[in-house]
Amino acid sequence: MSVIESTAAVVSNRRVRVIAVMMGVLGVFSLIVFAVGSPSVAHSSFLFNPVNLSESAPWHVGTLTLNSRLADLVLALIMIGLAVETYVRRPARGVMVRFGGVAVLFLLTLLIWAARTPGPSPVSFVNLTALLIGSSEVTMVLVFGSLSGVMCERSGVVNIAIEGQFIGGAFVGSMLASTTHNFFYAAIGGALIGGAIGWILAFFALRYLSDQIIVGVVLVTMLGSLSSYLNLQVFTPFPQYNTGNLAPNLAIPLLSKIPVLGPVLFNQSGFFYLMLVLIGVISFALFKTRYGLHVRAVGEHPRAAATVGIDVVRVRYINVILGGAIAGIGGVAFMASQGQFQPNYTSGLGYIALAAMIFGRWRPSGAVVASVIFGLSVYLSYTLTSYQVPVSLYILQMFPYLITIAVVAGLIGRVRAPAADGVAYQHD
């Protein structure tokens, strides 16, 4: 009705086209580079067994062997078809789902191409289940980060400091895990440091109405340097405080034996299960409870919330601190999947987590789906060099960031952020 919305409607129509074009570019890329780029006799073979379960598993999924060119051709055509459909029909809903689907298909065509063996008989394999398990570590961190983002931004505060909360959580977590040998204490420590960083952000943003993005970036920069310094001062001379922190996997009986996905979802560390619980809890809290309604009101229209007696500043403090704690635990989880703290190890995952949150339209469920896609592409960019990919590792590592930029640029005008996101609130 209003002009702003109608302008948004016009713009969003254009955005749909932009997104469709992006989908089309991915499809054509797959077609030309991956499908046509594979020799017509090449084959790609996939395994579905986790390395550590392959002998004992009661089931055995056979290898899947595909003609590389044919398979990529079919998938690329589906991608192009989806792009054309989106461009022509400009559907009001489900654009993001289509984009996500095309992104997944793109990764698949890439994999099929990377796994190709020139002759008709398979010689090397890509183990898909192992790949998913590998990427689940990155995905897990992204989920913690994007859930943190959802918590903060739904209440109207932009938390750019997620990266810093990861770093802080990882550092403290490593120290606590090596001294107490208990990951529970490590998680608590990570939550406390993450929450404390959240509190600093909230304090400047809510008390002094400072620019939230600037405060966030300053915090990340500070924590990055601080952790490098402390690493040199503490972990280098006393390596015993930063070793042997690999969180053990806890296989869930029966469930972990489900073919293909069982080992990915149900043979994981405690942090992974904690993440699954958090996804459910936050979705429930945000969309079903009284508190969640208040949070969303505060993020959309703080003045309206204030007129019904909701304490805007308090709600924001609580959410930013809780969001910080969640990101802090994410940092511990990442440290525990690597076994130790390393400076700069998170290398921008906090920002990718924010992109995942945008892609997921500020919903926990959407953020999870986006995190899976981003997690896969980050992981692939690190592992593809072991396949026959004639591209420099450094170029490949740009890949997830390119996807992030494309997503944020293409979607940011289409999806609607909480209206008061990042806007300081001052009562009279």
Partner 1 sequence: MRLELRGITKRFGSFTANDRIDLTVEPGQIHSLLGENGAGKTTLMNVLFGLLHPDEGEILIDGEPVRFANSGDAVRRGIGMVHQHFMLVPVFSVTENVVLGFEPTKSLNRVDYKRATEDIVRLSAQFNLQVDPDATVENLPVGLQQRVEILKALSRDAELLILDEPTAVLTPQETDALMAIMRSLAEAGKSILFITHKLKEVRAVADVITVIRNGRVVGSAEPTATEGELASLMVGRDVELTVEKSAFSPGENVFEIRDLVVRDDRGLVKVNGVSLDVRAGEIMALAGVQGNGQTELVEAIAGMRHVESGTILLNGRDVTNKTPREVLDAGLGHIPEDRQRDGLVLSMSVADNLVLNTPRRAPFARRGTRNLAAVHDNAQKQVRDFDIRTTSVDEPVASLSGGNQQKVIVARELSRPLAFLMASQPTRGLDVGSIEYVHRQMVNHRNQGNAALIVSSELDEVLALGDRIAVMFDGRISGIVDPTTSREAIGLLMAGTAGATDE
**d(Cα 349, Cα 72) in Å, to the nearest integer?**
30
- Min dist CB 413 to partner 1, Å, is 15
Q: How many residues bind partner 1 (CB under 8 A)?
A: 33
Q: 309: which residues sit within 8 A by CB, 6+ positions away? A: none
Q: Of 278, 305, 349, 367, which lies in the binding site for partner 1, with binding defined by CB under 8 A?
A: 305
Return the structure tokens found at 258: 């489900």
Contact 309, 247 (CB under 8 A): no
Q: Of 304, 391, 402, 409, which lies in the binding site for partner 1, with binding defined by CB under 8 A?
A: 304
Nearer to partner 1, 229 or 291 (CB): 291
Interaction between residue 288 and partner 1 (CB under 8 A): yes
Q: 10: which residues sit within 8 A by CB, 6+ positions away? A: none
Return the residue matching tokens 């740009």.
398
Interaction between residue 240 and partner 1 (CB under 8 A): no
66 phi, psi to nearest 5 deg: -125, 150
Nearer to partner 1, 234 or 415 (CB): 415
Q: Of 142, 158, 202, 297, which lies in the binding site for partner 1, with binding defined by CB under 8 A?
A: 297
* Range 332-359 burial, b when 16+ CB lie within 10 A, else e: bbbbbbbebbbbebbeebbbbbbbbbbb
Candidates 101-109, 305-313, 360-368, 381-389: pick the segment binding partner 1 (CB under 8 A): 305-313
Nearer to partner 1, 141 or 157 (CB): 157
- Min dist CB 261 to partner 1, Å, is 30
Task: Name the 3-class secondary structure at 47.
Answer: strand
Q: Which among 175, 194, 213 has a CA at the least distance from the CA of 326?
A: 194
Return the residue matching tokens 């592992």.
383
**d(Cα 371, Cα 143) in Å, to the nearest integer?**
6
Candidates 53-61, 70-78, 288-296, 405-413: pick the segment binding partner 1 (CB under 8 A): 288-296
Contact 340, 186 (CB under 8 A): no
Q: Of 308, 386, 390, 394, which lies in the binding site for partner 1, with binding defined by CB under 8 A?
A: 308
Interaction between residue 40 and partner 1 (CB under 8 A): no
Interaction between residue 293 and partner 1 (CB under 8 A): yes
Provide the β-strand partners of residue 64. Answer: 46
Interaction between residue 89 and partner 1 (CB under 8 A): no
Among residue numbers 6 through 25, which ones bind partner 1 (CB under 8 A)?
6-7, 9-10, 13
Interaction between residue 277 and partner 1 (CB under 8 A): no
Candidates 179-187, 261-269, 289-297, 336-344: pick the segment binding partner 1 (CB under 8 A): 289-297
- Min dist CB 9 to partner 1, Å, is 5
Candidates 98-106, 168-176, 301-309, 388-396: pick the segment binding partner 1 (CB under 8 A): 301-309
218 phi, psi to nearest 5 deg: -60, -45
Among residue numbers 393 through 422, which ones bind partner 1 (CB under 8 A)?
416, 419
Q: Of 43, 69, 294, 414, which lies in the binding site for partner 1, with binding defined by CB under 8 A?
A: 294
Candidates 198-206, 257-265, 284-292, 318-326: pick the segment binding partner 1 (CB under 8 A): 284-292
Interaction between residue 300 and partner 1 (CB under 8 A): yes
Return the structure tokens found at 186: 């490590």
Q: 346: which residues sit within 8 A by CB, 6+ positions away? A: 141, 163, 166, 167, 170, 331, 334
DSSP at 268: E
Interaction between residue 296 and partner 1 (CB under 8 A): yes
Whole-angstrom distance between the N-terminal and C-terminal Cα of the chain?
30
Candidates 141-149, 300-308, 352-360, 373-381: pick the segment binding partner 1 (CB under 8 A): 300-308
Contact 82, 9 (CB under 8 A): no
Interaction between residue 281 and partner 1 (CB under 8 A): no
Task: Name the 3-class secondary structure at 182.
Answer: coil
Provide the β-strand partners of residue 67. Answer: 43
Contact 134, 56 (CB under 8 A): no
Candidates 5-13, 119-127, 142-150, 332-340: pick the segment binding partner 1 (CB under 8 A): 5-13
* Residues making contact with partner 1 (CB under 8 A): 1-7, 9-10, 13, 288-291, 293-294, 296-297, 300-301, 303-311, 416, 419, 427-428
